């Protein structure tokens, strides 16, 4: 602080802009709207009154990325908490790290929106919780590791982090049972940790850091799970669905999360070629979890005993109201509860997907039961879940509900409100919009999987899919024109598979020349070998074709021959999301708020002093760099 105080405001502002824009400018988003020449607080008020300016949706998207950059960097000691890092006085919930959705949500946009450097701090934090988490596993679950502090990670019998965590390593359950007990929370957090490998391909980190934690968590579940004759499956027990309902055996939340943990451990061990015997045990136990059960209303049951929404029956006892159902909810919202923990297998998990139709239909039913209502972060959670269903306009309805939510969504200063202010919703909203535009959780890249009718024309550059592919997308009248793909992983090349209706008829070009592809017309997929650093265009419009010669497309597996074309893809202009040979423009200085800017992208430049204003809850007016309507 002393060194910062020695610098002038302009020096601090310039340093801040130069710092954050190196990361921020990787992604450009244009959803086709014009930005009105009015202050941001008025723009938000208009939006809540039905003037649904797409500029709002673009701004909140990029603002979530800005907050990610501002709040979390590689080498930081702590991740962002419920208030980011901007706490004043005694913040709600102590500004702690909540492990039943909130801290995980904080890091959902880190990898998908090309901010890898901002996600690693959470991995470091998880590693630091192993030792205190081993104590909690012993004290709260009876699973003991000898020599908590000296046993290498991966050789212990497991660690647990319940709901509330703080910088001092508190991992124990406390508070009310439905609130404090969260035995699946640390396994959920491991999804964020494992995503680092899936998006970067960094096998060294997988081997040295990530896999040991996965292995130790899998070892815990091997010992904690038990066979229920009544349910005819392995169960987690005692088990709670976050912050509501009774303590039971085998909530869908915990059963699903253990399934996902085993999946990650199995995959990682296969990639590294280790622990074959343990892997077979994990596969066997995973197969006996039976996590998704359908209820009488064709919904995903939240509890095994659930019959219909809010009703349950245990054994031969009469059906009754589920105890503590909807705890802590808003009485005006009826059966709506802020948590949707029974659908964790839909998002951020992979258990429920478009290939499991019965489960997907049931998940949609459960989302409909939760409605458009909820807290700010709850709406963000449902945006991500709806995006996974592919119901584009339903997903967009949630986007609007959140952006217009005010104290139950986005405030005038663009920050999220629970209420009160809670930053996770900002991150979750950004992640959700990215999920609408790109998904890659099933082992291939789905282009524009939930593109709503409200965004008929637009483009995005620089977002990421698993496998370390940087993606660009352009669409017109609701249909894709072209996609760009650039592999930036550790290997010399990698097979890319894209999914979009009609993609089997598309041409793939590198440096203007068509390359060989493998098509799967039945599943609308196209594959090709992507060399590191080269940019490939998947052309669905025919506009990008410059070389009429095209190698034969091969249905089914395998390609022959070398990839045609050359071109120095290491130059910035060949990377999606970068401007050709041009340093990104910085709009700041003495310009008045609302001054029209040139360029197609929305950008936000907030100097450090403004971030303190945000922390104080002040209304911050932002400059949006966006094409203005010529008639304005």
Q: How far apart are CA 564 and CA 583, in angstroms?
A: 30
Residue 261's CB is within 10 A of a number of other CB atoms, namely 25
The reported pLDDT for the residue numbered 622 is 36
Residue 88: band (very low, low, confident or very high) from pLDDT cuts 50, 70, 90: confident
- Angle at alpha carbon of residue 395, lines to 59 and 245, rounded to 5°: 110
| Position 62 pLDDT exceeds 50 | yes
For residue 517, being part of any structural domain is answered with yes
Whether the predicted pLDDT of 593 surpasses 50: no
499 inside domain: yes
Give domain status of residue 508, yes or no. Answer: yes
Q: Does pLDDT of 308 surpass 60? A: yes
The residues that bridge with 469 in the sheet, in sequence order, are 465, 487
Percent of the chain with pLDDT over 90: 75
Instruction: Please tell me the predicted confidence (pLDDT) of residue 511.
Output: 95
What integer is the mean pLDDT of 37-42?
A: 94
- Residue 490 included in any domain: yes
Residue 584 domain flag? no
Mean pLDDT, range 403-428, rounded to an integer? 95
Averaged over 112-132, what is the pLDDT? 97
At residue 536, what are phi and psi to the nearest 5 degrees?
Answer: -115, 135
* pLDDT reported for residue 546: 55
Record the pTM.
0.87
Instruction: Identify the pLDDT of residue 598.
Output: 32
- 8 Å CB contact between 383 and 428: yes
Q: What phi, psi does 231 have (nearest 5°)?
A: -90, -10
Q: How far apart are CA 378 and CA 372, in angstroms?
A: 10
pLDDT at 545: 59
Average pLDDT, the chain: 87
**DSSP strand pairing (518-520 vs 554-555):** parallel
**Cα dihedral sign, 373-379-382-387:** positive
* Any domain includes 544: yes
- Tell me the percentage of the chain whose pLDDT exceeds 70: 85
pLDDT tops 80 at residue 225:
yes
Distance CA 450, CA 472 (A): 16
pLDDT at position 599 is 32
pLDDT at position 335 is 54
Q: Cα–Cα distance between 73 and 167 in angstroms, integer?
A: 17
Looking at residue 118, its pLDDT comes to 97
Q: Answer whether residue 579 shows pLDDT above 80.
A: no
| Residue 544 pLDDT | 65
Q: Is the pLDDT of residue 632 over 80?
A: no
**Position 466 pLDDT exceeds 70:** yes
Residue 449 confidence (pLDDT) above 50: yes
Q: How far is CA 261 from the centre of its chain?
A: 17
Number of H helices and number of E strands within the chain?
19, 21
Residue 345 Cα distances to 253, 266, 341, 353, angstroms: 8, 17, 9, 8
Number of domains the chain is built from: 1
18 or 581: which leads in pLDDT: 18
The stretch 448-452 carries a mean pLDDT of 99
Please give the radius of gyration of the chain, using alpha carbons only, rounded to the nearest integer: 24
HEC string of 398-459 equals HHHHHHCCHHHCECCCCCEECCCECCHHHHHHHHHHHHHHEECCCCCEEECCCCCCCCCCEE
**71 pLDDT exceeds 90?**
yes
In this structure, the chain runs to a length of 632
Q: Which residue has the tokens 């070398």?
A: 562
Q: What is the pLDDT, as a whole number, of residue 181?
A: 94
| pLDDT of amino acid 325 | 87
**Which DSSP symbol is given to 218?**
H
560 domain residue, yes or no: yes
Q: Which residue has the higher pLDDT, 36 or 147?
A: 147
The lowest-confidence range among 70-74, 348-352, 432-436, 564-568 is: 564-568
What pLDDT shows up at residue 5?
87
| Residues of the domain holding 468 | 458-574
Per-state percent for the chain, helix, strand, coil, to nearest 5: 40, 15, 45
Helix (H) or strand (E) holding 110: helix 108-112
The answer on pLDDT for 265 being more than 80 is yes
Contact 26/462 with Cβ under 8 angstroms?
yes
Per-residue pLDDT tens digits for 271-301: 999 999 999 999 999 999 999 999 999 999 9
| 211 has pLDDT over 90 | yes
- Residue 462 belongs to a domain with what CATH number? 2.60.40
Tens digits of residue pLDDT in 151-190: 999 999 999 999 999 889 899 998 777 778 999 999 999 9
Give 562-573 pLDDT, tens digit per residue.
Answer: 333 333 333 333
Residue 400 lies in a domain: no
Averaged over 581-606, what is the pLDDT?
A: 32
Selected residue with higher pLDDT from 621 and 215:
215
3-class DSSP assignment, residue 183: coil
Give the per-residue pLDDT at 547: 52
- CA 282, distance to chain mean position in Å, is 26
CB of 319 within 8 A of CB of 311? yes
CA pair distance 245, 326, nearest whole angstrom: 7
Three-class SS of residue 61?
A: helix
Please report, for residues 233, 278, 299, 423, the alpha-carbon distance to residue 363 in angstroms, rounded to integers and kept in the order given: 21, 32, 6, 26
């Amino acid at each position: 602080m002393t060194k910062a105080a020695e610098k002038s405001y302009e020096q601090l502002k310039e340093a801040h802009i130069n710092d954050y824009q190196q990361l921020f400018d990787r992604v450009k988003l244009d959803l086709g709207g014009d930005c009105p020449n009015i202050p941001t607080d008025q723009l938000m008020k208009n939006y809540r009154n039905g003037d649904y300016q797409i500029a709002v949706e673009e701004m909140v998207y990029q603002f979530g990325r800005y907050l990610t950059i501002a709040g979390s960097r590689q080498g930081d000691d702590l991740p962002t908490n419920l208030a980011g890092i901007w706490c004043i006085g005694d913040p709600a919930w102590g500004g702690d790290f909540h492990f039943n959705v909130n801290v995980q949500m904080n890091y959902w946009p880190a990898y998908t929106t090309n901010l890898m450097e901002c996600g690693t701090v959470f991995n470091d934090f998880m590693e630091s919780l192993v030792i205190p988490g081993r104590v909690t596993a012993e004290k709260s679950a009876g699973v003991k590791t000898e020599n908590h502090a000296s046993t290498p990670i991966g050789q212990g019998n497991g660690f647990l982090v319940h709901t509330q965590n703080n910088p001092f390593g508190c991992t124990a359950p406390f508070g009310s049972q439905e609130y404090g007990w969260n035995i699946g929370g640390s396994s959920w957090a491991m999804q964020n940790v494992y995503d680092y490998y899936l998006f970067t391909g960094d096998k060294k980190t997988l081997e040295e850091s990530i896999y040991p934690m996965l292995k130790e968590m899998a070892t815990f579940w091997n010992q904690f799970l038990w066979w229920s004759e009544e349910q005819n499956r392995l169960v987690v027990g005692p088990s709670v669905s976050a912050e509501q309902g009774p303590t039971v055996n085998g909530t869908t939340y915990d059963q699903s999360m253990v399934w996902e943990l085993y999946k990650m451990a199995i995959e990682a061990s296969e990639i590294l070629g280790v622990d074959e015997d343990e892997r077979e045990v994990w596969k066997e136990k995973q197969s006996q979890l039976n996590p998704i059960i359908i209820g009488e209303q064709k919904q995903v049951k939240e509890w095994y005993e659930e019959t219909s929404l809010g009703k349950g029956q245990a054994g031969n006892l009469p059906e009754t109201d589920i105890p503590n159902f909807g705890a802590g909810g808003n009485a005006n919202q009826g059966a709506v509860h802020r948590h949707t923990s029974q659908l964790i297998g839909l998002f951020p998990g992979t258990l429920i997907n478009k290939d499991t139709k019965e489960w997907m239909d049931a998940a949609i039913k459960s989302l409909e039961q939760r409605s458009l209502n909820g807290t700010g972060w709850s709406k963000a959670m449902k945006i991500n879940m709806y995006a996974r269903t592919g119901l584009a306009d339903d997903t967009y309805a949630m986007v609007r509900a959140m952006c217009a939510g005010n104290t139950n969504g986005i405030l005038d200063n663009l920050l999220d409100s629970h209420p009160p202010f809670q930053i996770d919703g900002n991150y979750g909203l950004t992640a959700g919009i990215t999920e609408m535009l790109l998904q890659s959780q099933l082992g291939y890249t789905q282009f524009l999987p939930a593109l709503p009718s409200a965004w008929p024309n637009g483009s995005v550059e620089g977002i990421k899919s698993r496998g370390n592919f940087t993606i660009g997308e352009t669409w017109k009248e609701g249909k894709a024109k072209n996609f760009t793909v650039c592999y930036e992983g550790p290997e010399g090349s990698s097979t890319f598979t894209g999914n979009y209706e009609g993609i089997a008829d598309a041409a793939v070009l590198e440096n203007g020349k068509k390359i060989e592809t493998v098509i799967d017309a039945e599943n609308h997929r196209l594959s090709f070998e992507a060399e590191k650093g080269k940019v490939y265009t998947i052309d669905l419009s025919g506009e990008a074709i410059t070389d009429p010669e095209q190698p034969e497309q091969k249905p089914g597996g395998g390609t022959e021959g070398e990839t045609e074309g050359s071109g120095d893809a290491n130059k910035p202009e060949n990377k999606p999301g970068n401007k050709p040979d041009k340093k990104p423009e910085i709009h700041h200085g003495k310009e008045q708020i609302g001054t029209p800017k040139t360029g197609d992208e929305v950008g936000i430049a907030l100097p450090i002093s403004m971030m303190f204003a945000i922390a104080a809850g002040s209304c911050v007016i932002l400059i949006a760099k966006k094409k203005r309507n010529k008639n304005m």
